[in-house]
Amino acid sequence: MTLGRRQMVVGSAMAVGALGAVAACGSAEAPSAAPQTPSEPAENTELAKTADVPVGSALVVDGIVLTQEQPGRIRGFSTVCPHAGCAVSKVTGAEVICPCHGSSFGLDGAVLTGPAHGPLTPVDVVVRGDSVVRG
């Protein structure tokens, strides 16, 4: 059977359209907990109010983990997990948890459970009045 010119053009157009639809479906990236490089806020940028950082726990904000082990002692750490570079994002009580491989860190940034072998990197923060700022 021989195809005419019109049938060839229509068939080709349909094939290209189908390939485009398949490519569009395949190009959407699923959300993941892949390594991230959070942008760090500039110095003197307010990160949170001191009242927002729970005593005996932590708050994750703008790529920084703010911890308050004791009342009035607020410390900052990078959210970048030293294991694989994922962003720690979950806080459960006095533990900061990385969603990628389950490493957990204490309020002092130290590793509680691996696979991470090193602590979270300290970030300079300062309490000014009732605000915690990047310092």
Nearest in space to 96 (alpha carbons), one of 66, 75, 118, 122: 66
Nearest in space to 119 (alpha carbons), one of 128, 131, 100, 106: 106
Residues 78 and 123: beta-carbon distance below 8 Å: yes
Q: Kindly report which listed range (42-46, 62-66, 118-122) carries the lowest average pLDDT score.
A: 42-46
Nearest in space to 82 (alpha carbons), one of 35, 38, 123: 35
Classify residue 68 by its DSSP letter: E
* pLDDT one-digit tens code per residue, 76-111: 999 999 998 889 999 999 999 999 998 999 999 999
- CATH 1.10.3720.10 is held by the domain 45-134: no
Domain boundaries, the chain: 45-134
Q: What is the mean pLDDT of the chain?
A: 78
* pLDDT one-digit tens code per residue, 15-33: 444 444 434 444 343 334 4
**Is the pTM here over 0.75, yes or no?**
no
Residues 49 and 131: beta-carbon distance below 8 Å: yes
What is the structure's pLDDT at 41?
57
Please say whether the dihedral angle defined by the alpha carbons of residues 43, 121, 103 and 127, taken in this order, is positive or negative: negative
